[in-house]
Amino acid sequence: MKKFLHPLMLVPLTAVATAGIVMLPSADAQQTPAAAPAPELVTGLPDFTRLVDRVEPGVVRIEAKIAPQRSTQMSDDPMAEIFRRFGMPMPPGMQGPRGQMPQAPRGLSMGTGFLISGDGYVLTNHHVVDNADEVTVKLADSRELKAKVIGSDAQSDVALLKVEGNNLPALRLGNSSGVQAGQWVVAIGSPYGLDRSVTAGIVSAIGRNTGGGQQYVPFIQTDVAINRGNSGGPLLNTRGEVVGINSQIFSVSGGYQGISFAIPIDTAMNAVEQLKKTGQVRRGMLGVNMNPNIDADLARSLGLPDNRGALVTNVQIGSGAAKAGIQPGDVIRSFNGLAVSDVGDVAPMVGALPPGAKVKLGVWRDGRERDIDVVLGEAETERASAFNRGGDDRSDAPQAQPSSGLLGLRIAELDPDDRRQLKLGASEGVGVTGVASMAAREAGIMPGDVILAVGRTPVGSAKALDSALADVKPGQTVMLRLSGRGGPRFVTIKAGG
């Protein structure tokens, strides 16, 4: 099970026994969403009895036996080494014993799944079967079938299973691109082991980005009651077609609190087709990091007419974006002609395209918008895994020195080892070791951050930082490009604050 996010948590729905889902009978085992629409099953005031009667007979419960896991890796956070070398106390999230971790007990993950073809392909969540060494699918007629994991993709939270069988009941797949806020939807699953539980509600929003490792998924947000055990179950429209896969809830307690998230079926089936062919999902990669948002101060500093767009904070060396000339400080305002409202719009559009695809970006730079063609690279198939970043303890940590008092920061030079750990260029960045001013704290600058640039002026030393700030007067707003635990980002700070 994934970790809770605190204080407001996105909670995956695996847990106690889970009912699976069944589908509308289909003569075509490989039916696609392009099929003619099914007749409306719900009219007038909501009454979902006919819909449930037709889709429930193929309910599937997933039981996955989880193999013991052992981790022998150290912290995967490159900032940990910087804190150690600068002699600063580790934040709580970086603390912990070095070396081997104890084995996790063997366990049982239970969730929901649903058949997408009569010959036994089953769709569920990645987190339901992640690390499983044995998966069982339980049908409504009490049959228990051993399932093979054809492929599983962490970044979309989609897993494709296969059981042996013919003429199995399969749900009809809809088209999630037509889903709209306000429409009725139905979920079927096994929350807390209560098989074939039916809940209904409306779509409350579309295209939601929940962050974390699923930036490629434009989630469907609903108010359908979803709880642990619903993971991998279908979200259905009023024609009984699957439009999403229930995946997460937004909660402070771990239980349902009115906000649920489903993976659009179009996104899921994109992954399914690749999992069938190769067992993994390949996605395009732009090769940039982007700011979480563009506030009013950043918009003014960039000369933007409004706050719309995705602000580039870092361009990865050798990426498609780098080769096309994308620069830190650029604002992506459109993608292949589609408007980009914020950073959450970009990743799903990139991830839906294969490596090698050519895209046209509308980019704001130096007070005007221009079109830039970019050939996408290939994204990693999994979230970055932990690796040994250990190093010999050293006594030659650079001594902190004050920067210009304008920013209220203490800084330290970075040496080649620091830059390798942080994947920086040979003369890129200066480390923050202390934050003295209220303005810097309010801007979110923390010890361990690295200042990469003042505005568009790169800095690689304390001297270069002071030089870039030479013409800044107290009270003026300064834009800094940083790298740190939150990733590359831009912030604004009032000098002398």
Which residues, other chains included, contact 222 with Cβ-Cβ below 8 Å and sequence gap of 6+?
185, 187, 201, 202, 203, 204, 235, 259, 260, 261, 262
SS3 assignment, position 339: strand
Q: Are 232 and 156 in contact (CB under 8 A)?
A: no
Provide the annotated binding site for substrate.
Answer: 127, 157, 229-231
Q: Are 188 and 55 in contact (CB under 8 A)?
A: yes
Among 127, 156, 251, 319, the one annotated catalytic: 127
Active-site residue flag, 231: yes
pLDDT of residue 109: 84
Backbone conformation region of residue 55, classed left if phi is above 0, alpha if psi is from -120 to 50, else beta: alpha
pLDDT of residue 382: 47
Q: Are 240 and 293 in contact (CB under 8 A)?
A: no
Q: Which two tokens stand for residue 224?
A: 């359908």
Q: Which two tokens stand for residue 436?
A: 């003295």
Among 77, 157, 345, 418, the one annotated catalytic: 157
Which residues, other chains included, contact 103 with Cβ-Cβ below 8 Å and sequence gap of 6+?
68, 69, 70
Provide the annotated binding site.
Answer: 127, 157, 229-231
Among 75, 176, 190, 231, the one annotated catalytic: 231
CA dist., res. 441 & res. 180, Å (int) = 40
User: Could you give all domains of the chain from N- to C-terminal order, each with its CATH number?
Assistant: 9-26+49-67+106-278 (2.40.10.120), 284-378 (2.30.42.10), 401-494 (2.30.42.10)
Q: Which of 171, 162, 166, 234 is nearest to 197 (CA)?
A: 234
Q: Cis check for the bond before 218: say yes or no (omega within 30 of 0).
A: no
pLDDT of residue 229: 85
SS3 assignment, position 301: helix
SS3 assignment, position 246: strand
Q: Which of 160, 158, 293, 177 is nearest to 216 (CA)?
A: 158
Q: Which residues of the chain have pLDDT under 50?
A: 1-9, 15-32, 69-78, 80-105, 382-403
pLDDT of residue 474: 85
Q: Which two tokens stand for residue 252?
A: 């402070």
Q: Is the pTM of this model over 0.75?
A: no
SS3 assignment, position 426: coil
